[in-house]
Chains A and B, each alone.
Chain A
Amino acid sequence: MIELQNVHKAFGDNKVLQGVNLTIQTGESMVIIGGSGTGKSVLLKSVLGLIKPDSGVIKLDGQDVATAERDAFLARFGMLFQGGALFDSLPVWQNVAFRLLRGSLKRPIEEARAIAIEKLRRVGLKSAVADLFPAELSGGMQKRVGLARAIAAEPEIIFFDEPTTGLDPIMAGVINELIREIVVEMGATAMTITHDMSSVRAIADKVAMLHDGIIQWTGPVAKLDDSGDPYLDQFIHGRAEGPIEAVR
């Protein structure tokens, strides 16, 4: 279980998180929505320790992540980055098996390659892709490779940062389905940040909306359309009029 208690983060005068409280149960798929620049990525990176919150507590299974042993803590996570964040200098299979080629999860090279190819197959890519370099792949393929890397070490928790950004609607649908299938199959806890409503409906068990640095609304995905929350209503229907100020 991931718990965020009164988390604050500011960059200079820009107060991004202003007291975020959120709980994600084990095995649950939580999707965090919100407009651009509302701090969704900052929230996600704060959980991973990539950004240090100014105040507040983030706990994983009851333990404060700030005091957790870093390697053991990170070994429980997989993450799909917005742009894929694949390492240009490494072939695809080494990107996927990165964690399995070094550190505490190190495996023999043949075994690591076999696992990488299996994970590539799981995300719908052929083994021929394994020896290509990331620059030789399309955006959709890069996302799939990123997804394969995120699940390569079979993590308990997977984070997805804007998984469908920059993809055409069909490829976005494919990635959404893959994410849902993999999360269910692995029984993993998932936290996704997005402003793509088709992703929300495809991936989420629960939804949280981040606005003005706090969680404005949270509830099951089934309640999304009749929440009664004016902020959420405006956001999910993409209306220019409403409590959320639209910059024109």
Chain B
Amino acid sequence: MTTLLFPVAAVGRTTLMILATIGQIAIYAGQTISHMFRPPFYFKEFIHAVMTIGYFSLPVVGMTAFFTGGALALQIYAGGARFNAEAVVPSIVAIGMARELGPVMGGLMVAARVASSIAAEIGTMKVTEQIDALVTLSTHPMKYLTVPRVLAATLAVPVLVAVGDLIGIMGGYVVGVTRLDFNSSAYLHNTVDFLEFIDVFSGLVKGAAFGFIVALMGCYYGMNSGRGAQGVGKATKSAVVAASVLILASNYLLTELFFSA
């Protein structure tokens, strides 16, 4: 009987562990937000984080957006051709990029690039006692390490998303004009005419939320990293997985918030 209960016990343990982690992350997020509004502020660290998270992520986000936009144009054209709706390609590419693919693909790419690097950096700092050293030097690790990164990601990722939207739409345009024989001017008109403020705005809000999630996960798992190389490796993996899952989950919730009937 006891043996039969093993799988149930394992499920129970995992559920409790997940719930405990969610609670700890919620507390960590609350503490991070609260420290954002209390001095001291580390402006130099914030600027450094903006550069690392935002500026240096531009190439990877840009390339992802370009190819996604191009593939989207091909897919919509092929799908639309089944009921003579090929003309919707420019508008659907624009709306799709602005509302969904720009923020989600950008967020996931930033998660892969930034959450992993933050978790590895802070995890290594923890393992090598640099976090303890910060405390003995009268510097709060959350203020010095977490707040600048989370704030920088929250502000920089929407900008990345905006740039990604433009590049993605350009990717669709290039494919539309060169491969699908769209008229260049008509493609651009259709793109602009059907795009509404809420399409872009919702994408930018998603970008801010995803930026917050990515940096928070990197910092949380880095600060709670286990000992040694294995501990840091596990923290890095957990940060990327958690950030990716939370991005997709929060994307659904934000889509419900903005566009539910």
Q: Give chain A's interface residues, CB within 8 Å of chain B.
A: 45, 48-50, 70-71, 74-75, 77-79, 81-83, 85-88, 98-99, 102-105, 149
Contact = CB atoms under 8 A, between A and B. Distances in A.
B40 A102 contact: yes
A77 B139 contact: no
A103 B138 contact: yes
A41 to B, nearest CB: 9
Contacts, number: 48
B229 to A, nearest CB: 14
20 contacts: A50-B132, A50-B136, A74-B135, A74-B136, A74-B137, A75-B138, A77-B136, A81-B129, A83-B128, A85-B132, A85-B133, A87-B125, A98-B137, A98-B139, A99-B137, A102-B40, A102-B42, A103-B40, A103-B139, A104-B138
Contact of A79 (B42, B130, B136): B136
B120 to A, nearest CB: 12
Interface in B96-135: 125, 128-130, 132-133, 135
Contacts of B128: 83, 85
B133 A81 contact: yes
A49 B140 CA distance: 13
A85 B129 contact: yes
A113 to B, nearest CB: 15
Contact of B129 (A74, A83, A99, A104): A83
A86 B132 CA distance: 11
Nearest to A83: B128
A193 to B, nearest CB: 13
B138 A45 contact: no
A63 to B, nearest CB: 17
Contacts of B133: 79, 81, 85-87
